[in-house]
Amino acid sequence: MAQQGVLRIGIMGFGQVGRQIYRLAAQSDDVVVAAVADIGRSEVLHYLLVSDHQRAAPVRLDGNYLVNDRFRTRMLSSDKPGEPPWDVFDVDVVIDATRAFHSRATLSPHLAAGAPRVITSSLPEEPLDRLLIPGINLHSASPDDRLISAGSSTTTALALCLTIIDQALGLETASMTSVHAYTSDQPALDQARQDFRRSRSAANIIPNDNASPRWVAATLPRFQGRLSGYALNVPVQRGSLLDLSTVMRSPDVTVDDVNQAFLEAAEQHPGLVTIAHDPIVSSDVLGSRHSIIFDLQGTLKAGRRMIKTLAWYEELSHARRLLEVARLYQDLPQTEAGA
């Protein structure tokens, strides 16, 4: 029986983001992870969870259950939407953290298996019921939404930086480079994949397409036709950097103007934005729960109207944002699933 006021979630995919969500839930008082679906052995998944968070509250494995001081989580051997019987576990929402399913057709089987809602941790291939970017458009959430994307850590960082600069100072166009930690789908050695560059070892700097500019422009139409960008996957396990070049409307914008805009944003949105005053590197941002750590020393002006900024981020922040989106829907007036 579900506890009143407690959000019950199911997780598919117990990689880095899935494990971070579990840990954040265990540290909360209003979220329970009812079930986790992953094809990994329970013993190995437990081992990885404990290895990720050695100083956190203990989690033990009891048969096919992860057990902490607050709740028990059933471990299910599955990696396909539609296989886990989510209704059996009385979940309020399923967070699909596999990053393998990006369309309505591939995510909908979660609903057929009893999930009232599905939130995917990655960008979709096509419009779902809603794309929510924390700090940007959470107000647009509807009780009727069933398939939701919470974007990605890069998408949130890009949208926040663009919005802060544009609202304070006005920008014309922007181009981003996401210098991104390698991901679990990259091989340790060269191995044939569908994509040529992603067939190369993660021990390289690998240029990749990135859909964040397209989806930010779709969410914030004022940026339509004004954004571009790509990603560089680099041999760093965690910690990523958004290198953003913006062409300002006015040639009078200074480095101090831009830095002041972010200082004020950090005061207004302390849960999303923070400031790095020191000359930090990627390992310094590990464990941050902010969507952007703005690098105050990284702002440059090039020519009359171009400003370059640096903002750091890491995956723990995205796990936190996913839980915030899940809580948001829990607090909305409810309608019958499928209505």
| φ, ψ (nearest 5 deg) of residue 120 | -95, 145
Cβ atoms of residues 251 and 181 within 8 Å: no
Range of the domain at 282: 153-314
Q: Do 96 and 191 belong to one domain?
A: no
Using pLDDT thresholds of 50, 70 and 90, give the confidence band for residue 57.
low
CATH code at position 168: 3.30.360.10
One domain for residues 224 and 84: no
Residue type at position 302: A
Pair 32, 6: CB distance under 8 Å: yes
Residues 183, 282, single domain; the answer is: yes
Is pLDDT at 253 greater than 90 in this prediction?
yes
Strands 147-149 and 118-120: parallel
pLDDT over threshold 50, residue 1: no
Q: What is the pTM of this model?
A: 0.90
328 falls within a domain: no
First-to-final CA distance of the chain: 24
How many structural domains comprise the chain? 2
330 occurs within a structural domain: no
User: Does some domain include residue 133?
Assistant: no
Q: Does the pLDDT value for residue 338 go beyond 60?
A: no
Has residue 25 been placed in a domain?
yes
Residue 296 and residue 278: Cα distance in Å, rounded? 8
Same-domain status, 67 and 202: no
Do 160 and 101 sit in the same domain of this protein?
Answer: no
Q: What are phi and psi of 32, to 5 degrees?
A: -125, 130
157 & 306 share domain: yes
164 and 23 both lie in a single domain: no
Residue 30 inside a domain? The answer is yes
Residue 214 lies inside a defined structural domain of this protein? yes
- Indicate whether 123 pLDDT > 60: yes
Q: Which of 122, 145, 175 is the last residue of a domain?
A: 122
pLDDT tens by residue, 181-191:
887 777 787 78
The sign of the torsion formed by the CA atoms of 14, 17, 18, 20 equals positive
CA–CA gap between residue 75 and residue 11 (Å, rounded): 10
